[in-house]
Chains A and B, each alone.
Chain A
């Protein structure tokens, strides 16, 4: 058995856990750990320029690969800077392990230099946290942290390690535990068979069914099963913002995204459905609209989720099924295939006819542009064409995020990477870095706005250091577009602190200052050509600054306090 210090144990344990890349930033409390990193070559460390970016990069890596993202930060400001990224991962149930340095054990509580109570400050936004007391504990803590982060409903786990625990002078025998058992933590494996049978009966008897699936299907590796089930039944399906790609976005059974900026047909179908099968989705307020009493008034709700607390939290489930999405979908498929009960084809035909009528409304039609002004929606459609629908799209937060979700159909899971729950501006670029590290040859795109981008642009330097050929497509409307849209619609057009056109940098030059390439697009006629040029630069990071119509709004948009059928469809139309 090897004799290792706490710092060495940590890195060795990460390797034994299958980790090959971590994102971090050094500082006093983690110097012993960084020295241990220096002396090995199994775990690669990526130096970011801000701890928030380390967490988002690890998050992007996790979303794209399904493997946990790993972060290493120092105590105090390093730890607090990581909080936004941890909260982002927590809200979207992303597996992540964050290792934070802490001041020496004997200094804890003394307001020491760079001391902060990381376990305390992170508590509401982690699945669990540990503080290491002794180097001998480290292998088991790492094992437990990864076990908790990756099983059940995934989430971030923090390990806080006081500096003395990683002391290179204290060497102890190292062995990585093969398994972990915790009496207070267990994971629901499969769903209740009786409940599944009941759900299948209701589902097969449905006259106006809708399948509504969320991020849980992607996290739970259930996309293939969901696709099989949906095609087998021939039912319409809609995805949440987090669930896009779980079912092929170009398939005719797909109604588009639902919710606040969902399609007319998806929201109408939900409202008039008689059976809603919710899978790995949590009926959150951006889906149900604010008054849940008006939500799906005629529908029986069948709800599959691995987290019992998600079931009947906002909308009461008629048939709740707690279990892993994959296990439950597999059982459902078997039951459907062997059942004598068949789908009500006649009613389904009538239902599809109704849905096709709603589709004819063409709610995502791009408004006509005059004088060569570029509509933001056109940029996303062009991006889809140029990337042949086969890129990883990492989005920031705002109008561009909604346009991307609406206009870039995803045929595969893990291709749409965005901060859905927390809505973290500044997520896009570091997430695209994480994706590019995971898949160096893939096209990693950051769709952003000039507002979000400025929240983590320091990562240009990281992209240069590691030669990441990310393509950044900025829908530049010279304002905080989503804020401005709400101010237009609800505050009489009073743009309180949502505009800054006069102080924007020259984004092309800014990219060049960091050694990257900047391209500016101002006219509709040059959009496609210049986008193609940008994507042809395979080994360069390119920032594509697209000046878009600053007056454009995201539609459809749910009417506050209404039902799902209540939407604003354009500046002049409502349902």
Chain B
């Protein structure tokens, strides 16, 4: 099963490499990874998605917790949560295609953020499934370039991952 693990990390040099190193060292998978400082600049928030059975996920969270730079973590998929990913996608768009692509972007609530005579660059946010859905709706033949941020997430309700 796919899990979204969100980690509060000391904003120290080398901290990220310890997390990434742990995954390769123990043969765990990282599907996506996103990291940036939080409002407290001494902390980074790192969100990663990984796949594995319960035993593997348990080991992953235990080993992450053992890293001295990891302050706290939560497996967001254990409870209700909001997940978002941002995508910038450059697609071929000329002639009659232009209107069609614009309409598809509207349906997915995407925005055109740049254009040339033959291309659109569209910004789209949502779950990873939604972004995948947009790519297949546009048709892979039209896609010139895809940039995705990886999943970011937060718990629903009053639950907070903080100090």
Contacts and interface: CB of A to CB of B under 8 A. Distances in A.
A161 to B, nearest CB: 15
Contacts of B14: 119-120, 123, 129, 131
B25 A307 contact: no
B66 A184 contact: no
B71 A124 contact: no
A129 B25 CA distance: 17
Nearest to A148: B68
B163 interface: yes
A183 interface: yes
B68 A182 contact: yes
Contact of A183 (B13, B59, B163): B163
Given A123-B18, A313-B59, 16 more contacts: A119-B14, A123-B14, A123-B21, A124-B21, A128-B68, A129-B14, A131-B13, A182-B68, A183-B71, A183-B163, A184-B68, A184-B70, A307-B66, A309-B59, A309-B62, A309-B65
Q: Chain A's interface: helix, strand, loop or mixed, by majority? A: mixed
Contact of B66 (A131, A182, A309, A313): A309
Interface in A54-81: none
Contacts of A313: 59
**Residue with the highest number of chain A CB atoms closer than 10 Å, among B10, B14, B59:** B14
B10 A184 contact: yes
A119 B59 CA distance: 24
A127 interface: yes
Interface of B: 10, 13-14, 17-18, 21, 25, 55, 58-59, 62-63, 65-66, 68-71, 163
A123 B17 contact: yes
Contacts of A182: 68
Interface in A165-188: 182-185
Nearest to A123: B21
Given A119-B14, A123-B17, A312 B71 contact: no
A353 B151 CA distance: 61
9 contacts: A123-B14, A123-B17, A127-B68, A182-B68, A183-B163, A308-B66, A309-B59, A312-B55, A313-B59
Most central of B55, B66, B163 by chain A CB within 10 Å: B66
Interface of A: 119-120, 123-124, 127-129, 131, 148, 182-185, 307-309, 312-313
A532 to B, nearest CB: 49
A124 B62 contact: no
A185 B68 contact: yes
A309 B68 contact: no
A148 B63 CA distance: 16
A571 B71 CA distance: 54
Given A119-B14, A123-B17, A308 B62 contact: yes
Contacts of B70: 184
Nearest to B69: A184
A131 B13 CA distance: 9
Contacts of A312: 55, 58
A137 B55 CA distance: 40
B67 to A, nearest CB: 8
B103 to A, nearest CB: 50
A475 to B, nearest CB: 35
Contacts of B13: 131
A123 B17 CA distance: 9
Contacts of A127: 68
Contacts of B55: 312
A312 B61 CA distance: 13
A310 to B, nearest CB: 9
B25 A309 contact: no
Contacts of A120: 14, 17
Nearest to B25: A124
Contact of A184 (B25, B59, B71): B71
Nearest to A311: B62
Contacts of A148: 68
A119 B25 CA distance: 15
A541 to B, nearest CB: 40
B65 A308 contact: yes
B52 to A, nearest CB: 14
Contacts of A123: 14, 17-18, 21
Contacts of B18: 123
Contacts of A119: 14
B72 to A, nearest CB: 8
A22 to B, nearest CB: 23
A123 B25 CA distance: 10
A130 B68 CA distance: 11
A183 to B, nearest CB: 6
Nearest to B15: A184
B76 to A, nearest CB: 20
A123 B23 CA distance: 12
B27 to A, nearest CB: 12
A185 B25 CA distance: 21
CB-CB nearest 7 A-B residue pairs: A309-B62, A128-B68, A184-B71, A124-B25, A308-B62, A185-B68, A123-B21
Contacts of B68: 127-128, 148, 182, 184-185
Nearest to A308: B62
Contacts of B59: 309, 313
A60 to B, nearest CB: 26
A313 B17 CA distance: 24
A313 to B, nearest CB: 6
Nearest to A144: B68
Nearest to A184: B71
A462 B63 CA distance: 39
Contacts of B63: 309
Contacts of B69: 184
Nearest to B55: A312
B8 to A, nearest CB: 9
B54 to A, nearest CB: 10
A183 B43 CA distance: 11
Nearest to B60: A309
Contacts of A307: 66
Contacts of B25: 124
Contacts of A184: 10, 68-71
Nearest to A309: B62
A73 B28 CA distance: 33
A307 B59 CA distance: 11
A449 B115 CA distance: 74
B42 to A, nearest CB: 9
Contacts of B163: 183
B85 to A, nearest CB: 27
Nearest to B58: A312
